[in-house]
Amino acid sequence: MNFQDIDVKKKKLDQARPLPVHSVKSLLNHVLIDWTIKSIHRLVLKGIQDENAGVYRKENVLIGGASHRPPDHVVVPELMERFVETVENEWSTLHPVERAAKVHAEFVKIHPFIDGNARLWRFRMAREIEKIY
């Protein structure tokens, strides 16, 4: 099957059950952001913990020296989905510093990965703050 065949089939599907443009855009943004988070995490852990790189945790964890206990691993995918929606919808108009602080606090609370959460988020925080300049 080539790309032209795929385009023809997609067009038929779209005609059979069209989605509003805002739904498609929202879905695309969500998928890209989730993919981006996992991809950056994969880079952060490359050569350190390849088996956990870019994968939401599949076990419960404790954070050394912290009183906060991250949520059960079973709910991490759902929490990350809500996290992405909140960042893109509710927090999209906030000042970059306020947004960066809120995003950071929520991300570390979820603690979605076995390892590398802080390293990933330091990188991500820098990107949020770059929006100021």
pLDDT digits (tens, 9 = 90+) for 60-83: 998 888 888 999 999 999 999 899
Considering the chain, what percentage of its residues have pLDDT values greater than 70?
Answer: 80
Domain 3-130 has CATH 3.30.390.50: no
- pLDDT (0 to 100) of residue 89: 86
Residue-range domain boundaries for the chain: 3-130
The pTM for the full model equals 0.70
- pLDDT (0 to 100) of residue 96: 82
Task: Give the single-character DSSP code of 2.
Answer: -
Just list the catalytic residues.
Answer: 111
Does residue 54 have a known ligand-binding role? no
Reduced to 3 states (helix: H, G, I; strand: E, B; else coil), residue 62 is coil
What average pLDDT does this structure show over 105-118? Answer: 91
Mean pLDDT score of the chain: 81
Does residue 121 have a known ligand-binding role? yes
Give me the numbers of helices (H) and strands (E) for the chain, helices first please. 5, 0
Does residue 118 have a known ligand-binding role? yes
